[in-house]
Structure 1
Amino acid sequence: MLFAHDTEPALIAAAALVNTGGSHGEALPDVAALDAFLATHGWTGRHERTEAELRAVRDLRLRLRRIWYADTDEVVTTVNALLRDAGALPQLIRHDDEPYHLHAVPRDAPLPTRMAVEAAMALADLVRGDELSRLRVCDHPDCDNVLVDLSKNRSRRYCDAGCGNRAAVTAYRARRAAARS
C-alpha cells in the first residue's frame, strides 16, 4: 500500500467516476446505474436517489476530469475549491469496522459533496507526497479514460476498459503481418 488505507480507494473511485463519461459512452444514464456505481466502490451514507443528485454527480465528474490534465498548481486550486465549497472540516472517525480515517464532511452530507471531498482529500495526499504523476490518461489512442497508477514501478499505461488487451492484439497482428511480408 502506497498511501493511507482510505486514500487508494478514494483515488480509484474518483478515476472510475471520471470514466463513467467519455469516449466509452455514458455509464451513469440513470439513478440505478449510480446505485450500482456506489455499491461497486463501497459508498455508504446518505443517497437520495434523485435525478438532481445524479446531475450533481455528473457535474463533479467534469471537475475531476480536469485534474488529470492539470499541473500541480491547478490541482491544488481545484482541491482547495472542492474542500472550500463543501465547508470541509477534517476529523478522525471510525465506522463500519474500518480503522480511524479522515472524514471532512458528515456522513449525511449530500452524496456529491461527500464524493467531491473524498476525492479532494485523496488528491491532497498525492500533492503532499509529490505523487501527481500517478494520475494518467490511458495510452490507447482511441481512449480518453483516466487511471491512477498504484503500481510499485509506476508502469501502468492503460485503463480498465480493455485497452491494454486491444493494444497487445494490435501489436501482435502487426508483428504477424511483418513476419509474413
Structure 2
Amino acid sequence: MLFTHDTECALTTVAALVNTDGRAGEGLPDVAALDAFFVAHAYSGRHERSEDELRAVRDLRPRLRRVWYADTEGIVAIVNGLLRENDALPQLITHDDEPYHFHAVPRDAPLATRMAVEAAMALADLVRAGELRRLRICDHPDCENVLVDLSKNRSRRFCDAGCGNRAAVTAYRARRSASRG
C-alpha cells in the first residue's frame, strides 16, 4: 500500500466520479445511478436519494476534473478551496469495522460535501507526498478518462473502461497484419 487505505479509496473514487461526467455518456443519469455509485464506493452516512443531491454531485465533477490538468499550485488552490468552502475540520474516526481514518466533515453532511472534502483530503496527501504524477489521463487515443496510478512502479497507463484491452487487441492485430505482409 502506497498511501493509507482511506486515501487510496478516496483517490480511486474521485477518478471514478470524474469519469461519470458524460464524456462517454452520462455516468450518473439518475438517482438510481447515484445510489449504485454510493454503494459501489462504500460511502456511509447521509444519502438523500434526491434530484438536488444528484445535481450537487454532478456539479462537483468539472472542478475535480480540473485537478488532472492543473499544476501543483492549481491543485493546491482547488484543494484549499474545497476544504475552506466545506468547513473541513479533520478528525480521526472509526466506523463500520474500518481502522482509524480522517473525516473532515460530519457523516450527516450532504453527500456532495463529503465527496468534495474526501477528494480534497486525498489530493492533499498526494501533494504532500510529491506524488501528483500519479494523476493521469488514459493513454488510449479515444479516451479522456482520468486515472490514479497506485502501482508501485508507476506504470499504469489505461483507465478502468477497458482501454488497456482495446490497446492490446489493436497492437496484436497490427503485429499479425505486419507478419502476413
> What range describes the TM-score normalised by the shorter chain of this pair?
over 0.9
Alignment-mate amino acid for residue 164 of structure 2: G
Q: Who is 1:149 aligned against?
A: 149
Query: Any residues of structure 2 matched to 1:16-95 within 5 Å, and which?
Result: 16-95=16-95
What secondary structure does 2:144 align onto? coil
The correspondence of residues 103-118 of structure 1 with structure 2, limited to 5 A, is: 103-118=103-118
Deviates more, 1:19-28 or 1:105-114: 19-28
Question: Any unmatched runs of 5+ in structure 2?
Answer: none
SS at match of 2:82: helix
Identical aligned residues as a percent: 78
2-side partners of 1:80 and 1:114: how far apart?
A: 15
Cα shift at 1:114: 0.2
Query: Could you tell me which residue of structure 2 aligns to residue 177 of structure 1?
Result: 177
TM-score (norm 2): 0.98
RMSD value, Cα: 0.7
Aligned-partner SS, 1:96? coil
Partner amino acid for 1:72? T
What is the rounded CA distance, in whole Å, between the counterparts of 1:66 and 1:180 in structure 2?
45
SS in 1 for 2:5: coil
Runs in 1 of length 4+ with deviation above 6 angstroms? none
Query: Retained in 2: the 8 A contact 1:138–1:144?
Result: yes
Pairs aligned (count) = 181
CA shift, 1:13, in A, is: 0.3
Distance 2:84 2:125 in 1: 17
TM-score (norm 1): 0.98
